[in-house]
């Protein structure tokens, strides 16, 4: 059995790290990014912007920053006027940044995030040099404090609540509850409550790490294909709608057709595997393997969020969202482990409650996912994506 576990563990680690390595290789093969910033000596916002860009330049070797001082150099101001005319935007002062097909006016924390996202996008995609821009074949997007873009990121409005709600759907998924209860039952049969608590914590940590790494790999891969982001957004919107409807189906017609849980045919093998965990380290290894069993029933909401984040935020911001998502996802597992440790309820009682509330959990998950799908459809309708 140990040999089988080792083989499964190695397979899982390959599934986790190969996508991450593949995505990282694509990120490192950066395209050169031409950025033009027009500034004036003595302008405090200009100084803040230049400091920000220099920090970006240190970590992104393919970033080329072209600085144009317009207060003292008439030639640079003439270029500023010509470029603004080509982009069909009035000059509104400095700093003004041109990158790809965008004009970014001013500087603030939100503008810094916008700039970083655009730089990251251009590093992995073919972006034009703004000097090559012509008014006939390019669409201009203007971002800035005094002239905000009509196209607003969904992330500024809905991303955080959608991430939290989707994580909640995963958190109340009966799959994870069932797995932990089986594990804790096995742990209590061979050890005391304190040792059983370690089983639960090690198992939960393994689930957290494996889901985070899988999410990070998929997020990076999706983001490298961001030229298809709009079409992918349509796909994940449809996926959110389907997941919501399937969960509602499980409330009204439980067990009929496709079940939004671990497939019944997989459960005997999974239960046998879990019962073989005889130590906290064993529970940790089992947690990695069991995450593969859980993906069919927990992967849907996760994929929706990964697609949304890849379309809306930079990689560094996306990592923060993934950490938050997975913390919410495993929170009920931690709570259940403490409940069993404190003797507030037996594993048999918890399993009985889980069985009684299965349909309600699917109803809640269905309603939340349909709400997320509705928000994403609304974003499409408003032209935010």
The model's pLDDT over 289-313, given as tens digits with 9 standing for 90+, comes to: 777 766 666 667 787 788 777 766 6
Q: Is 40 in the same domain as 87?
A: yes
Q: How many residues does the chain have?
A: 385
Q: How confident is the model at residue 189 (pLDDT cuts 50, 70, 90)?
A: low
pLDDT, one tens digit per residue, over 96-122 is 999 988 899 889 888 888 898 888 888
Q: Is 270 in the same domain as 162?
A: yes
Q: How confident is the model at residue 18 (pLDDT cuts 50, 70, 90)?
A: very low
Q: Is 94 in the same domain as 173?
A: no
Domain end (from 94, 116, 150): 150
Residues 153-164 as b/e (b if ≥16 CB within 10 A, e otherwise) read bbbeebbeebbe
d(CA 209, CA 326): 9
Residue 36 has pLDDT above 80, yes or no: yes
Distance of CA 152 to the CA centre of its chain: 19
pLDDT, one tens digit per residue, over 127-157 is 878 887 644 444 445 555 433 333 334 444 4
Residue 69 is predicted with a pLDDT of 92
d(CA 45, CA 22): 38
Residue 199 has pLDDT above 50, yes or no: yes
CB 274 within 8 A of CB 186: yes
CB 176 within 8 A of CB 298: yes
The model carries a pTM of 0.56
Q: How confident is the model at residue 159 (pLDDT cuts 50, 70, 90)?
A: low
Q: Is 21 in the same domain as 53?
A: no
Residue 143 is predicted with a pLDDT of 53
Cα dihedral 314/315/319/324 (nearest 10): 20
Residue 95 is predicted with a pLDDT of 92
Percent of the chain residues topping a pLDDT of 70: 69
Residue 31 has pLDDT above 80, yes or no: no
Q: Which domain holds residue 296?
A: 2-25+155-382
Residue 177 is predicted with a pLDDT of 67
Domain count, the chain: 2
Q: Is 248 in the same domain as 221?
A: yes
Residue 24 is predicted with a pLDDT of 45
Q: Is 144 in the same domain as 161?
A: no
Residue 74 has pLDDT above 70, yes or no: yes
Cβ atoms within 10 Å of 52's Cβ, excluding its own: 16
CB 256 within 8 A of CB 340: no
Residue 305 is predicted with a pLDDT of 80
Residue 39 has pLDDT above 90, yes or no: yes
Residue 346 has pLDDT above 60, yes or no: yes
Domain end (from 120, 150, 180): 150
């Amino acid at each position: 059995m140990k040999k089988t576990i080792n083989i499964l563990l190695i397979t899982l680690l390959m599934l986790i790290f190969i996508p991450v390595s593949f995505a990282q290789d694509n990120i490192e093969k950066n395209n050169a990014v031409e950025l033009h910033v027009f500034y004036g000596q003595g302008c405090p916002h200009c100084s803040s912007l230049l400091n920000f860009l220099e920090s970006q330049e240190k970590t992104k070797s393919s970033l080329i920053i072209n600085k144009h001082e317009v207060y003292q150099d008439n030639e640079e101001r003439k270029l500023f006027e010509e470029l603004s005319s080509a982009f069909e935007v009035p000059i509104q002062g400095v700093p003004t940044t041109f990158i790809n097909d965008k004009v970014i006016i001013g500087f603030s924390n939100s503008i810094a995030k916008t700039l970083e996202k655009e730089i990251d996008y251009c590093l992995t995609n073919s972006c034009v040099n703004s000097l090559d821009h012509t008014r006939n074949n390019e669409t201009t997007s203007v971002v800035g404090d005094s002239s905000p873009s009509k196209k607003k990121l969904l992330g500024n409005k809905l991303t955080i609540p959608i991430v939290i709600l989707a994580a909640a759907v995963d958190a109340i998924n009966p799959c994870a509850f069932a797995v932990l209860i089986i594990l804790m039952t096995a742990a209590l049969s061979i050890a005391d409550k304190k040792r059983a608590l370690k089983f639960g914590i090690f198992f939960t940590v393994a689930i957290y790490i494996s889901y985070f790494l899988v999410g990070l790999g998929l997020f990076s891969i999706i983001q490298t294909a961001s030229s298809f982001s709009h079409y992918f957004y349509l796909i994940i919107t449809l996926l959110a709608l389907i997941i919501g409807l399937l969960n509602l189906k499980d409330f009204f017609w439980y067990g009929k057709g496709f079940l939004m849980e671990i497939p019944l045919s997989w459960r005997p093998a999974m239960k046998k595997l879990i019962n073989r965990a005889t130590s906290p380290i064993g529970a940790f290894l089992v947690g990695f393997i069991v995450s593969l069993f859980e993906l069919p029933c927990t992967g849907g909401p996760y994929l929706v969020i990964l697609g949304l984040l890849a379309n809306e935020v930079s990689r560094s911001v996306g990592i923060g969202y993934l950490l938050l998502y997975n913390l919410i996802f495993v929170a009920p597992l931690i709570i259940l482990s403490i409940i069993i440790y404190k003797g507030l309820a037996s594993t048999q009682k918890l399993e009985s409650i889980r069985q009684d509330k299965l349909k309600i959990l699917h109803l809640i998950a269905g309603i939340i996912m349909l709400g997320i799908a509705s928000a994403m459809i609304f974003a499409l309708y408003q032209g935010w994506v």
